[in-house]
Amino acid sequence: MREGRFGEYGGQYMPETLMKAVHELSEAYERYRDDADFQKELDDLLNKYAGRPSLLYYAEKMTRDLGGARIYLKREDLNHTGSHKINNVLGQILLAKRMGKKRAIAETGAGQHGVATATVAALMGMECKIFMGQEDMERQALNVFRMELLGATVQPVTSGTRTLKDAVNEALREWSERVEDTFYVLGSVMGPHPYPTMVRDFQKIIGKEIKEQLMRAEGKLPDAVIACVGGGSNAIGAFYEFIEDRSVRLIGCEAAGLGIDTPKNAATITNGTVGIFHGMKSYFCQDQYGQIAPVYSISAGLDYPGIGPEHAYLNDTGRAEYVAITDDEAVNAFEYLSRTEGIIPAIESAHAVAYAMKLAPAMEKDQVIVINLSGRGDKDVAAIARYKGVVIHEQDTKSI
């Protein structure tokens, strides 16, 4: 397999202006990935700052209620900043520091990656600018304010569909303007090589911990690992350790939005075709002329028309399965987990919960499902209220 390729997928399809930066990043990553000092610093931050290892929680009530496989939740939502995104950001910003970069930029959809980047940039004393689609800024106003509290500038993106895809476009444009002093902290396993490999390596700790923790709890491998997929970083992080363990089903849950038969979805593997965009060859939602399609999901984090190249490869080889979950199913799962286990999941992660709710009853009671709970749902409470037609007002009282 060629470097940076997963079968035919991946590659480095970037404008010439950025190629030197892409190669410098690649070289720096190769140099530090096995460097003992770098790894120690990263491990320290993961353990003492981000709160790793994250819990593997046995969801007893959910298991009993669904009446099938035993269900575990990998609690990435308990990480500092509330999602798995911090794993990758700590790695990339440490790398940025070693490369002498003073400034970090990032795209964000739901705001989770933006918050994680703003957080670590604050910790490391780096200037930080986050690109966010204007529509997403409205959907995730709380996260916008969080990023600003952390000292980042949030740049609204008003081009195109004003969502995650357009935020990536703008971040790439900014990077090509400020390539000398700026490090692009890409949030998912996408973009040009080395990002898909590097981000996966920074996220694979999720699956590694799952394996150890489940071995202690159950003395066996899981029968299925389920994760939501937008670009696919939490999913590849959960899957990677198990790729060689053929008995473990790996299931990625895409956003079906209003339904895969409607134009309002973001189900890239289900509905997409192979194309070349955002630096990589992979599957994309697009029309017959190769124009990237406007996609939709209730979840800003899954609202992306592409998928990481390694997922495209895992799909083609049949090693992983990809299913589509609608807005309705995700919202139902969001409420279900909140009431059943007292855990409010991110609406992204709720897509994985929704599929587990379908799968578990059909499995044997001695089988085990692990759901990667990639993020917490505090950020989604207002959006879910809106979805349900509930009006929430926080009283603006001047006197205390």
Binder of another protein out of 277, 296, 304, 336 (CB under 8 A): 277
Binder of another protein out of 35, 138, 177, 364 (CB under 8 A): 177
Least distance from another protein to the Cβ atom of residue 12, Å: 5
Which is the catalytic residue, given 74, 83, 101, 107? 107
Distance CA(392)–CA(369), nearest Å, equals 35
284 vs 313, beta carbon nearer another protein: 284
Contact call for residue 395 and another protein (CB under 8 A): no
Question: Residue 129: beta bridge partners?
Answer: 105, 153
Residue 178 CB coordination number (10 Å): 14
Contact call for residue 215 and another protein (CB under 8 A): no
Contact call for residue 312 and another protein (CB under 8 A): no
222 vs 279, beta carbon nearer another protein: 279
Least distance from another protein to the Cβ atom of residue 156, Å: 15
Which is the catalytic residue, given 54, 76, 83, 85? 85
Residue 385 CB coordination number (10 Å): 12
C-alpha distances out from residue 325 to 68, 349, 354, Å = 20, 11, 7
Read off the tokens for 302.
């899954």
Contact call for residue 20 and another protein (CB under 8 A): yes
- Contact assessment for residue 376 and residue 301, using Cβ atoms and an 8 Å cutoff: no
Binder of another protein out of 6, 12, 132, 200 (CB under 8 A): 12
Least distance from another protein to the Cβ atom of residue 277, Å: 5
Closest by CA position to 375, among listed 89, 41, 20, 83: 83
C-alpha distances out from residue 253 to 56, 99, 348, Å = 20, 36, 9
Distance CA(296)–CA(282), nearest Å, equals 19
104 vs 371, beta carbon nearer another protein: 104
Least distance from another protein to the Cβ atom of residue 11, Å: 6
13 vs 387, beta carbon nearer another protein: 13
Q: How many residues lie near another protein (CB under 8 A)?
A: 37
- Contact assessment for residue 238 and residue 227, using Cβ atoms and an 8 Å cutoff: yes
8 vs 127, beta carbon nearer another protein: 8
- Give the list of residues 6+ apart from residue 281 with CB closer than 8 angstroms, or none: 8, 9, 10, 11, 13, 274, 275, 309, 312
Contact call for residue 1 and another protein (CB under 8 A): no
Least distance from another protein to the Cβ atom of residue 180, Å: 8
Closest by CA position to 239, among listed 268, 228, 334, 230: 228
Binder of another protein out of 165, 200, 376, 379 (CB under 8 A): 165
Among 19-27, 137-145, 331-339, 385-393, the segment contacting another protein (CB under 8 A)? 19-27
- Catalytic residue list contains 85: yes
Distance CA(224)–CA(71), nearest Å, equals 10
Least distance from another protein to the Cβ atom of residue 363, Å: 39
Binder of another protein out of 6, 21, 116, 186 (CB under 8 A): 21
Q: DSSP of 315-328, one letter per residue?
A: HHTTSEEEEEEEHH
Residues numbered 102 to 161 that lie near another protein (CB under 8 A) are 159-160
Helix (H) or strand (E) segment spanning residue 369: strand 368-373
Contact call for residue 173 and another protein (CB under 8 A): yes
Distance CA(304)–CA(307), nearest Å, equals 8
- Catalytic residue list contains 107: yes
Distance CA(207)–CA(201), nearest Å, equals 11
Contact call for residue 16 and another protein (CB under 8 A): yes
Contact call for residue 290 and another protein (CB under 8 A): yes
Contact call for residue 184 and another protein (CB under 8 A): no
Closest by CA position to 197, among listed 92, 84, 77, 347: 92
Least distance from another protein to the Cβ atom of residue 5, Å: 11
- Residues within the interface to another protein (CB under 8 A): 11-21, 159-160, 165-166, 169, 172-173, 176-180, 273-279, 284, 286, 288-292
Q: Which active-site residues does the annotation give?
A: 85, 107, 374
